[in-house]
Structure 1
Amino acid sequence: MAKRKNTKSNISVKDILKGKFLVDDGSMQNWRFVMFLMLLAFISISSSHWIDKKVVQINKLDEEVSSLKSQYTDAHRLLMGLQLEPEIIRQSASIGISLTEEQPYVLIKKVYDSQP
């Protein structure tokens, strides 16, 4: 019986662990594949970090929006209180303006036509 030469189908797990597939003949294709896998791993890790940064940024912006909404609600509540009639009377009394007891006059302007 003739000895078989080591072919690609006879590669064992032990040979893979030793790294023989990287130093044997035709290993350039294996190196290209390993580099391709490393590039994919780098892209995957980079995109994961980028997405994590975006998630943190989105959470900060959501908190800021929530804070601004509560500030708007408080300011709106105060403004609505200032627009009430008793508050207007109180504010105007502090500067010397008061309500009159007399009815206001209505001025009506009559327009005459110049044509007969």
Structure 2
Amino acid sequence: MTRAEISALLACFPIWMRPFVWVQLMLIKRAQMRHGRELMMHVCYATGRLRVVYIADAPREPVAWQCPVPAVTALDRLALAPPAPGCTYVRAPFGLFPCIENLFARAGTARPDTS
């Protein structure tokens, strides 16, 4: 917690409750710094009590494995070999679109006899 957050929280309490709330905040802040975990607290504005509701998981060690950087990026790969123009195969509920002829021309096969 920063000083601004602490002062904003203390401003919500009457003057006679602030020392009690401040001591609780300092105890919670010390424990938080010692363990390195984030906390979610419940603040009772009627009694001035702070209660820790949730504690975050323990911090993990940094991962030593790093993903290797590719020699050629995907954008460069696309620039080296752009995709073939036209569509290759399109299926519609009522049959094939006319661009299916590109598929047979590229595959080097003869068109099927549909008569």
TM-score of the two chains, using structure 1 as the length reference = 0.28
Q: Which has the higher contact order (CA 8 A, sep 6+)?
A: 2
TM-score of the two chains, using structure 2 as the length reference = 0.28
Higher helix share: 1
Higher strand share: 2
